[in-house]
Amino acid sequence: MNRVSHPQFELLFCIQEEGDPSIVIVQELMKKHPHVDASYFTGGKAADVINPKINNMQPGYLAAKHELLLISDSGLMMKEDTLRDMVSYMTPDVGIVHQMPFCCDRKGWPAILEKVYFGTSHARMYLFLGLLDAMGLGVNCCTGMSCLMRKKVLDEAGGISKFGIYLAEDYFFAKYIQDQGWGIRISSQPAWQNAGLCRVMTFLRRLTRWCKLRIAMVPHTLVLEPFSECMVLGLVASWAGCVLLHADYLTFFLFHTLSWSLADWIMLNIVQNGPPPFSKFEFAVSWLFREVCALFLFLHAVWNPVISWGTGTYKLLWGGIAVQVNNRITVM
């Protein structure tokens, strides 16, 4: 456990089931650091709550005693000054501060694939939407794996259980806070994802699930999202260049793809704050794999809007509302 550089805080560990092995780890940490104000909660069944994460956090939310509430996923690594950094962005007109997802340095190609995605495609869109919001355009790009919120604003909504009908609770937290006139800001530090086990299929399922959520919450994503990806945009741009400029289709497409990959390499180095811990060849292979997969994952998300998350299976309605369906259904 890193020493957190903040004058006053409490740790509330929310664990879904009584027999979860992580309870032993939490208990050992609490014994090792008795000076830290910490508690753990299990269960958390709340009425009318579909979202398992909201269900899990409900007891901790009710017990929270400070003005600011930080939701931090268990798979994140938090640095010593992370909390202080996030609080520094919580100015009087701001209601939520969130972190851009990124990844710790880990070994293996699946870990490289994750870092390439979160340091290029995801980072580019995340920072661009964050800039639009900072300009006062009311854009919402909040990811809930690490976000600091004003508890009183959530209390006014009826607590986090009121958002339990949505699977993308982070988006609707931010939307509600934004609708009340509060601002949204991105912290200068990323959320360091540090899961011990990385698998390619798990990662692809995660991307597909997020795509399904975006389509249900923001329907115009159905039209715009494919054209934000390198390959689809390259095919269209190459056709336009062929018709309007009489350019060679393949040459135009290859130049477009090479330029995009070089820009993403620079982007990754900026987000990493230095060279990444893998070679340019490993980057090129991972980047190309992700870009080629993007369209297929999008089409799968459109074709099958059912989401499998944890032990539950859910169907999304327009507007992001989730309905639990038969748990025996398995989807990607």
In the three-class reduction of DSSP (H, G, I as helix; E, B as strand; rest coil), residue 48 is classed as coil
Residue 280 is encoded by which pair of tokens?
A: 């340019």
CA distance readout (Å), 23 to 19, 41, 78, 153, 256:
8, 9, 19, 31, 51
Residue 297 is encoded by which pair of tokens?
A: 């994952």
CB 89 within 8 A of CB 185: yes
How far apart CA 105 and CA 128 sit, in angstroms, is 24
How far apart CA 211 and CA 205 sit, in angstroms, is 10
Residue 190 is encoded by which pair of tokens?
A: 């990323």
CB 87 within 8 A of CB 69: no
Residue 122 is encoded by which pair of tokens?
A: 């995801």
CB 203 within 8 A of CB 266: no
* Sign, CA torsion 17/21/27/29: negative
How far apart CA 306 and CA 164 sit, in angstroms, is 17
Which DSSP letter does residue 307 get?
Answer: E
Q: What is the CA radius of gyration of the chain?
A: 21
Answer yes or no: 85 catalytic. Answer: no
Which DSSP letter does residue 162 get?
Answer: G
C-alpha closest to that of 1 among 74, 88, 90: 74
Q: Which of 85, 133, 170, 264 is catalytic?
A: 170
CB 140 within 8 A of CB 214: no
Catalytic residues: 170
